[in-house]
C-alpha cells in the first residue's frame, strides 16, 4: 500500500507541471492588456529610467497605446530571447530595436519602420578615423545578432570580431583596448558616448541604412493590424518624429526620462570658445556653461549642451525656440533684429596693461610705444586700425610676460584677460585709457518666440547676479587665468580621491534613482527560485533515489525506476540553460504561469537529478543490516527508507547536499534568459543604465559570496548538530 503512495507521489511530481499548465493556461484578462517584451539595455531605444521603461521604442508604443486604447505593458527579457518569446506567444509582441530583415521576416511579421538607422563606429576619442578604410581589419567588439555584427564581418576577419552579449561589455572592451572599435547603430553609439566621454562616434561607414520595426508572431493578425495602423497614423502626424527628436535633443543620453514624463530641461547650443565654452575632463566647462549650469540648478532644470558651429547657433535658434545660444556671444543691435538677449552676465572692453611705474596714462602716448597683442584677437584688429607698432603673440600670457620683462612697453587686451594676467604679474596694472573703444556686453541668445523660457532664465540670471554666484564663477575663471584646461567651476572630479570617485560610481550605480532596487528585487527573486527549486529538488531527488535503490534491492518497480534513470541521465547530460529554455518555451509554451515559478520548476527538476545521485550514494552508504532490521520488525520498505535509511543517509550526504544548494544558487543566474529579474540580471540592467561595467558585477559577486558563506555556515552547524546527535 505504501508503495502505491510512493508511486503516486512520483507520478504526481512528473505530471504536476503539465497539470499546472492546463489549469493556469490562457488567462482571460488578456483581451485589454497586451504584453510587450523588450531588452532594456539598448538605449536610447529601450532602457530603464529609474524603474520606468523608457526610450524611443517604449514611447512610440505609449503613444500607440493612447491612440488605440490598448493597455500596453512592458516586460524585460534578453534580446536573444525575445524573438523566441514572440513566436512562442509568451508575449504579444516584441519591441527592442529589431532591424527589419528578410531573414527575420521568415519567422515574424514586422510593422512599418519607425526609425532609420545608420551603422557608425565607436572608438576612443581623438583617433584619426576619417573613412571606412581606417577601421578595416581592426579588432572589433559587437553585440551578437545585431546588424553591427553583420557589418563588422565585411570589415574585418572573423577572428578579429569579439561577440558580446551586451553593450556594457563592448564599452569595456573599447576602454580597455581589447577592441579597437565597435560597429553599432548611430543613436546607440551616441548614448554610449554620452556616458563615456573618452569614447567618440565616427560616422564613417558606408553601410546601407536600416529600419527598425516591432515584431509580431505570424498568426497575430488582429493585433498586428491595430498596432501597425496606429503606427502609420503617428508617423504621419509627426508624433514619432517628435519622440525621436526629443531623444536626439537630449543627446541620446542615458539619463533622459520618457518623452511622456519630460522634465524641464535647458537645451544649450554652444561651440568651442575658451573661456566661455569648452570641454574639460569630459565636462562642459567655461563661463557660459557654468553660469547656465548655475541657472539650471537654481530653477531646477536639467541642462543639455549641443555642440554646433558658431554660425549655426543663430540659424538653429530661428527654427528651435526651445534652445538657448551660449558661446561668449556679444549682444549687438544688429543681432537684436533677429534674436532676443538676456541681461548681460559680464561685459568686456579693451584696456591697456602696463607696468605700475609706466608713463602710459593717456591714449595719445601709445603711438610711440611698442605694444604686445594676441594674433587675430580684437586687440590686434584695434592696434592695426590705429597703426600702432605691435608685437604679436599667440597668447595673452605671453603678451603680459613680455611687458613684465620690458620687451614691450604695454599690452592691449580684454579687461577680463588683463585681470587674470595680474595674478601672475603683480608688477602690472590696468590702465583704462582707450577712450575710443566700446564696452561690449556678453549675453545669452534666445529665439524671439521663447518668451516664457526667456523670462524664467533671465529672472534667475538677475538673481544669481545679485547674490554673488556669478561673481564667484567669474572670479574662479579669472583666478585660473582663463586657460583651456581650467575645469568647470562645478567639476570637482579632478580634486577627488580614488575613494571619492568610487563612492560617486557607487552612488550612480546603486543610489541614484533607487537603482539598488534592481539588486534587492533581483536578490529576492534569486532566493525565491533557489528555495523553491531546492525544496522541489530535494523531494524529487529523494523520491527518485528511493525508487532506483529500492528497485535495485527488491527487483520490483522496473518501469518507475527506468523512468527515474532516464530523467537523471537526461538532466545531468544537458546544460541547465538549455533545460530552462526548453521548459519555458516548449513545455510551458502556452502557459501564462509566472516566470519565477517556471524557473523554480526548471531548476527544481535540474537539481532533483543531482540530488537523486547524491541521495542514492547516501542510501548505499547505510549498512544493509539497517534495512533488514527495519523490515524484520514489520516495517514496509517505504517506511524503512523514510524512518531508518534516509535519516542516516542525509547525515552522510549533508556536505554534498550543501554543495548542491551552493551551486544551485549560482546557477539561477541564467534565469535571466527567460526574462526573470534575478540578481545577475538586476546587475546587468544597472550596467545597461550606467554603462559602468564593473562595479555592479563586483557587488553581486560579493552578494553571491555572502549568501554562500551564510549557507556554508548553516550547513556546518547542521552537520555538527547531526554529528553530535548520535
Partner 1 sequence: MPIENNEMLNIRALTKSFGDNQVLKGIDLTVHKGEVISIIGPSGCGKSTFIRCLILLERPSSGNVFFDGKDILSKDVNEDEIRSRMGMVFQNFNLFPHMTAKENIMLAPVKLGVMNKEEASLEADRLLSKIGLPDKADTYPSKLSGGQQQRIAIARALAMKPEVMLFDEPTSALDPEKVGEVLDLIKDLAENNMTMIIVTHEMGFAREVSDRVLFFSEGYIEEEGTPAEIFGNPRSSRLQDFLSKVL
Q: For residue 264, with 0-12 CB atoms within 10 Å meaning exposed, 13-18 middle and 19 or more buried, which class applies?
A: exposed
Residues 88, 626, 652, 712: which binds partner 1 (CB under 8 A)? 626
Does residue number 222 form part of the binding site for partner 1 (CB under 8 A)?
no
Residues 644, 654, 677, 685: which binds partner 1 (CB under 8 A)? 644
3-state secondary structure 372-434: EEECCCHHHHHHHHHCCEEEEECCHHHHHHHHHCCCCCEEEEEHHHHHHHHHHCCCEEEECCC
Question: All 3 cell numbers of residue 268?
Answer: 544649450
Does residue number 632 form part of the binding site for partner 1 (CB under 8 A)?
yes
Location of C-alpha cell 530552462? 580
Location of C-alpha cell 537529478? 609
Apex CA 684: angle with CA 679 and CA 689, to 5°? 130
Phi/psi of residue 475, nearest 5 degrees: -65, -35
Nearer of residues 258 and 542 to partner 1, judged by Cβ = 542
Residues 466, 633, 694, 710: which binds partner 1 (CB under 8 A)? 633
Supply the minimum distance, in Å, between the C-beta of residue 726 and partner 1: 4
Does residue number 407 form part of the binding site for partner 1 (CB under 8 A)?
no
Supply the minimum distance, in Å, between the C-beta of residue 640 and partner 1: 10
Does residue number 647 form part of the binding site for partner 1 (CB under 8 A)?
yes
Nearer of residues 375 and 633 to partner 1, judged by Cβ = 633
Question: All 3 cell numbers of residue 421?
Answer: 594676467
Q: How many residues does the chain have?
A: 726
Q: Is the dihedral of CA 546, 549, 555, 560 positive or negative?
A: positive
Nearer of residues 517 and 620 to partner 1, judged by Cβ = 620
Residues 75, 651, 681, 687: which binds partner 1 (CB under 8 A)? 651
Supply the minimum distance, in Å, between the C-beta of residue 715 and partner 1: 18
The helix or strand, by DSSP H or E, that contains position 266, with its residue range, turns out to be strand 265-270
DSSP H stretches of helix in 133-166: 147-155
Which of 299, 336, 334, 307 is closest to 323 using CA atoms?
Answer: 307
Nearer of residues 407 and 552 to partner 1, judged by Cβ = 552
Does residue number 527 form part of the binding site for partner 1 (CB under 8 A)?
no
Does residue number 617 form part of the binding site for partner 1 (CB under 8 A)?
no
Residues numbered 38-67 forming contacts with partner 1, rule: CB under 8 A: none
Location of C-alpha cell 520548476? 601
Does residue number 657 form part of the binding site for partner 1 (CB under 8 A)?
no
Supply the minimum distance, in Å, between the C-beta of residue 643 and partner 1: 7
Residues 36, 371, 470, 630: which binds partner 1 (CB under 8 A)? 630
Strand partners, 273: 277
DSSP letter at 260 equals G
Question: All 3 cell numbers of residue 196?
Answer: 563615456
Supply the minimum distance, in Å, between the C-beta of residue 518 and partner 1: 45
3-class state of residue 666 by DSSP: helix
Supply the minimum distance, in Å, between the C-beta of residue 647 and partner 1: 5
Nearer of residues 145 and 655 to partner 1, judged by Cβ = 655
Nearer of residues 265 and 626 to partner 1, judged by Cβ = 626
Supply the minimum distance, in Å, between the C-beta of residue 654 and partner 1: 13
Residues 552, 586, 643, 710: which binds partner 1 (CB under 8 A)? 643
Supply the minimum distance, in Å, between the C-beta of residue 623 and partner 1: 8
Of 242-250, 270-278, 468-476, 643-651, the window that binds partner 1 (rule: CB under 8 A) is: 643-651
Nearer of residues 369 and 642 to partner 1, judged by Cβ = 642
By the 8 A CB rule, do 274 and 263 touch?
no
Distances 254 to 174, 257, 270 between C-alpha atoms, Å: 19, 8, 21
Residues 369, 440, 631, 666: which binds partner 1 (CB under 8 A)? 631
Peptide bond into 44 cis (omega under 30): yes
DSSP letter at 642 equals I
Nearer of residues 344 and 626 to partner 1, judged by Cβ = 626
Does residue number 558 form part of the binding site for partner 1 (CB under 8 A)?
no
Compute the distance between CA of residue 591 and CA of residue 577 in angstroms, rounded to an integer: 19
Of 246-254, 347-355, 446-454, 636-644, the window that binds partner 1 (rule: CB under 8 A) is: 636-644
Supply the minimum distance, in Å, between the C-beta of residue 537 and partner 1: 23
Of 19-27, 333-341, 639-647, 697-705, the window that binds partner 1 (rule: CB under 8 A) is: 639-647
Compute the distance between CA of residue 539 and CA of residue 516 in angstroms, rounded to an integer: 34
Does residue number 573 form part of the binding site for partner 1 (CB under 8 A)?
no
**Total of chain residues touching partner 1, rule CB under 8 A:** 20
Does residue number 725 form part of the binding site for partner 1 (CB under 8 A)?
yes
Compute the distance between CA of residue 322 and CA of residue 59 in angstroms, rounded to an integer: 21
Compute the distance between CA of residue 41 and CA of residue 53 in angstroms, rounded to an integer: 11
Compute the distance between CA of residue 317 and CA of residue 324 in angstroms, rounded to an integer: 7
Nearer of residues 333 and 634 to partner 1, judged by Cβ = 634
Does residue number 718 form part of the binding site for partner 1 (CB under 8 A)?
no
Residues 139, 532, 587, 635: which binds partner 1 (CB under 8 A)? 635
Does residue number 652 form part of the binding site for partner 1 (CB under 8 A)?
no
Residues 232, 524, 639, 715: which binds partner 1 (CB under 8 A)? 639
Give the dihedral of Cα atoms 355, 357, 363, 369; nearest 10 deg: -70
Distances 610 to 196, 538, 607, 656 between C-alpha atoms, Å: 45, 9, 5, 10
Q: Strand pairing of 265-270 and 302-307? A: parallel
Supply the minimum distance, in Å, between the C-beta of residue 725 and partner 1: 7
Supply the minimum distance, in Å, between the C-beta of residue 627 and partner 1: 9
Supply the minimum distance, in Å, between the C-beta of residue 630 and partner 1: 8
Residues 69, 177, 426, 634: which binds partner 1 (CB under 8 A)? 634
Compute the distance between CA of residue 616 and CA of residue 646 in angstroms, rounded to an integer: 10
Residues 636, 652, 659, 712: which binds partner 1 (CB under 8 A)? 636
Nearer of residues 434 and 639 to partner 1, judged by Cβ = 639
Of 257-265, 495-503, 536-544, 637-645, the window that binds partner 1 (rule: CB under 8 A) is: 637-645
Supply the minimum distance, in Å, between the C-beta of residue 143 and partner 1: 56
Question: All 3 cell numbers of residue 441?
Answer: 556686453
Nearer of residues 355 and 647 to partner 1, judged by Cβ = 647
Q: Is the dihedral of CA 162, 164, 170, 176 positive or negative?
A: negative
Strand boundaries in 108-171, DSSP class E: 108-110, 115-117, 119-124, 140-143, 161-164
By the 8 A CB rule, do 345 and 352 touch?
no
Site for partner 1, rule CB under 8 A: 623, 625-626, 628-636, 639, 643-644, 647-648, 651, 725-726
Amino acid at each position: 500500500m505504501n508503495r502505491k503512495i510512493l508511486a503516486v507521489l512520483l507520478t504526481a511530481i512528473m505530471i504536476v507541471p503539465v497539470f499546472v499548465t492546463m489549469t493556469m493556461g490562457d488567462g482571460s484578462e488578456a483581451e485589454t492588456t497586451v504584453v510587450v517584451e523588450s531588452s532594456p539595455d539598448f538605449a536610447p531605444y529601450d532602457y530603464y529610467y529609474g524603474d520606468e521603461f523608457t526610450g524611443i521604442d517604449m514611447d512610440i508604443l505609449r503613444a500607440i497605446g493612447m491612440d488605440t486604447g490598448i493597455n500596453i505593458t512592458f516586460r524585460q527579457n534578453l534580446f536573444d530571447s525575445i524573438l523566441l518569446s514572440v513566436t512562442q506567444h509568451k508575449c504579444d509582441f516584441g519591441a527592442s530595436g529589431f532591424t527589419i530583415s528578410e531573414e527575420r521576416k521568415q519567422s515574424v511579421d514586422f510593422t512599418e519602420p519607425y526609425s532609420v538607422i545608420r551603422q557608425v563606429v565607436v572608438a576612443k576619442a581623438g583617433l584619426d578615423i576619417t573613412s571606412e578604410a581606417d577601421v578595416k581589419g581592426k579588432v572589433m567588439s559587437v553585440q551578437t545578432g545585431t546588424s553591427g555584427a553583420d557589418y563588422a564581418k565585411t570589415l574585418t576577419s572573423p577572428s578579429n570580431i569579439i561577440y558580446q552579449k551586451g553593450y556594457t561589455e563592448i564599452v569595456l572592451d573599447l576602454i580597455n583596448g581589447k577592441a579597437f572599435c565597435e560597429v553599432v547603430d548611430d543613436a546607440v553609439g551616441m548614448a554610449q558616448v554620452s556616458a563615456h566621454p573618452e569614447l567618440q562616434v565616427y560616422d564613417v561607414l558606408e553601410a546601407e541604412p536600416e529600419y527598425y520595426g516591432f515584431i509580431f508572431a505570424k498568426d497575430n493578425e488582429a493585433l498586428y493590424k491595430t498596432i501597425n495602423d496606429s503606427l502609420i497614423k503617428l508617423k504621419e502626424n509627426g508624433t514619432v518624429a517628435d519622440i525621436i527628436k526629443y531623444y536626439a535633443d537630449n543627446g541620446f543620453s542615458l539619463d533622459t526620462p520618457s518623452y511622456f514624463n519630460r522634465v524641464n530641461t535647458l537645451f544649450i547650443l554652444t561651440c568651442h570658445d575658451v573661456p566661455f565654452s569648452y570641454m574639460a575632463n569630459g565636462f562642459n566647462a567655461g563661463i557660459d556653461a557654468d553660469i547656465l549650469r548655475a541657472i539650471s540648478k537654481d530653477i531646477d532644470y536639467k541642462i543639455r549642451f549641443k555642440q554646433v558651429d558658431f554660425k549655426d547657433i543663430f540659424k538653429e535658434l530661428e527654427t528651435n525656440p526651445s534652445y538657448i545660444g551660449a558661446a561668449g556671444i556679444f549682444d549687438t543691435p544688429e543681432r537684436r533684429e533677429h534674436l532676443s538677449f538676456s541681461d548681460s552676465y559680464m561685459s568686456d572692453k579693451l584696456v591697456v596693461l602696463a607696468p605700475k611705474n609706466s608713463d602710459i596714462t593717456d591714449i595719445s602716448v601709445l603711438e610711440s610705444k611698442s605694444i604686445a597683442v594676441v594674433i587675430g584677437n580684437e586687440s590686434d584688429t584695434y592696434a592695426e586700425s590705429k597703426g600702432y607698432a605691435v608685437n604679436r603673440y599667440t597668447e595673452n600670457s605671453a603678451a603680459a610676460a613680455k611687458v613684465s620683462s620690458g620687451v614691450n612697453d604695454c599690452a592691449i587686451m580684454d579687461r577680463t584677460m588683463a585681470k587674470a594676467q595680474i595674478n601672475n604679474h603683480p608688477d602690472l596694472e590696468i590702465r583704462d585709457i582707450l577712450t575710443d573703444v566700446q564696452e561690449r556686453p556678453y549675453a545669452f541668445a534666445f529665439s524671439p518666440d521663447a518668451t516664457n523660457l526667456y523670462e524664467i532664465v533671465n529672472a534667475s540670471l538677475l538673481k544669481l547676479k545679485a547674490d554673488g554666484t556669478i561673481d564667484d564663477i567669474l572670479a574662479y575663471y579669472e583666478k585660473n587665468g582663463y586657460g583651456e584646461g581650467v575645469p568647470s567651476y562645478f567639476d570637482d572630479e579632478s580634486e577627488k580621491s580614488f575613494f571619492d570617485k568610487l563612492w560617486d560610481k557607487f552612488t550612480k550605480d546603486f543610489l541614484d534613482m533607487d537603482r539598488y532596487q534592481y539588486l534587492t528585487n533581483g536578490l529576492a527573486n534569486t532566493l525565491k527560485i533557489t528555495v523553491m527549486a531546492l525544496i522541489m529538488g530535494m523531494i524529487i531527488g529523494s523520491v527518485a533515489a528511493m525508487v532506483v535503490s529500492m528497485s535495485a534491492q527488491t527487483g520490483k518497480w522496473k518501469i518507475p525506476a527506468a523512468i527515474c534513470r532516464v530523467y537523471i541521465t537526461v538532466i545531468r547530460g544537458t546544460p541547465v540553460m538549455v533545460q530552462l529554455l526548453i521548459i519555458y518555451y516548449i513545455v510551458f509554451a502556452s502557459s501564462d504561469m509566472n516566470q519565477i515559478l517556471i524557473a523554480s520548476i526548471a531548476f527544481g527538476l535540474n537539481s532533483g537529478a543531482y540530488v537523486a545521485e547524491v541521495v542514492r550514494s547516501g542510501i548505499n552508504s547505510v549498512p544493509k543490516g539497517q534495512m533488514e532490521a527495519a523490515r524484520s520488525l514489520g516495517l514496509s520498505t517505504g517506511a524503512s527508507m523514510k524512518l531508518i535509511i534516509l535519516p542516516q543517509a542525509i547525515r552522510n550526504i549533508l556536505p554534498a547536499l550543501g554543495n548542491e544548494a551552493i551551486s544551485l544558487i549560482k546557477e539561477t543566474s541564467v534565469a535571466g534568459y527567460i526574462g526573470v529579474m534575478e540578481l545577475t540580471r538586476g546587475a546587468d540592467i544597472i550596467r545597461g543604465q550606467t554603462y559602468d561595467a564593473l562595479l555592479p558585477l563586483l557587488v553581486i559577486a560579493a552578494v553571491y559570496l555572502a549568501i554562500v558563506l551564510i549557507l556554508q555556515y548553516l550547513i556546518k552547524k547542521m552537520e555538527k548538530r547531526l554529528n553530535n546527535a548520535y
